[in-house]
Amino acid sequence: MAPHTASARLLAAAAAVCSLGVSSAQQKIDPAHKVQLTVYHQDRKTASTGIDNKDTGDAAGDAYFALKEVGKYRECREDPRSFDCQNPEVNSDDLVVTELLIEVDSRWGPYGMCNVDNSTGEYSCRCEQPEQPHPHNCSQALAQYCGSSRSSKIACKVCTYKNERALEYYGCTSSQEAAYCANTVEDVPGFLAAMKTAGLAADLATVRLPPGASAQCNSTLKSDCGKYQGSRYCDYCLEENKDDLHKAGCSEQDEENFCHKNYCNASVGHILADENLSVQRKPEQGRDPDYDFWNYNMAHKLGGNWYSTTTEGKCSLNGTGPCYWRVLQPVKRVSSNCQVGSVNKVVTKIGASCFSKCADPTNVTTTCWADCFFETSIGKGASTTTDTTGGMAAQELIDTWTAPFASEDASKGGCPGLPIPPLQYA
pLDDT of residue 165: 67
**What is the DSSP code string of 66-121?**
HHGGGGHHHHHHH-TTSGGGG-HHHH-TTEEEEEEEEEEE-S-B--EEEEE-TTT-
pLDDT of residue 20: 46
Compute the chain's Rg from CA coordinates.
23
pLDDT of residue 228: 80
pLDDT of residue 5: 40
pLDDT of residue 328: 95
Strand ranges in 354-414 using DSSP code E only, listed in sequence order: none
**CA max distance for the chain:** 72
Nearest 10 degrees: Cα torsion 400, 405, 408, 413: 10
List average pLDDT for each run of 10 residues in the chain, which is 426 residues long.
Answer: 46 50 66 97 92 97 96 91 85 94 95 84 78 70 78 77 74 87 59 53 70 88 85 76 92 80 86 86 87 95 96 85 93 97 98 97 96 98 95 98 97 97 72
Q: Is 215 helix (H, G, I), strand (E, B) or coil?
A: helix
Nearest 10 degrees: Cα torsion 144, 150, 156, 160: 20
- How many C-beta atoms surround the C-beta of residue 286 within 10 A? 5
pLDDT of residue 2: 38
How far is residue 165's CA from residue 39's CA, in Å, rounded to a whole number?
28
How far is residue 19's CA from residue 315's CA, in Å, rounded to a whole number?
18
pLDDT of residue 21: 43
How far is residue 222's CA from residue 227's CA, in Å, rounded to a whole number?
8
- How many C-beta atoms surround the C-beta of residue 132 within 10 A? 8
- How many C-beta atoms surround the C-beta of residue 231 within 10 A? 19
Residues 6+ apart with CB under 8 A from 179: none
Query: Does pTM surpass 0.85?
Result: no
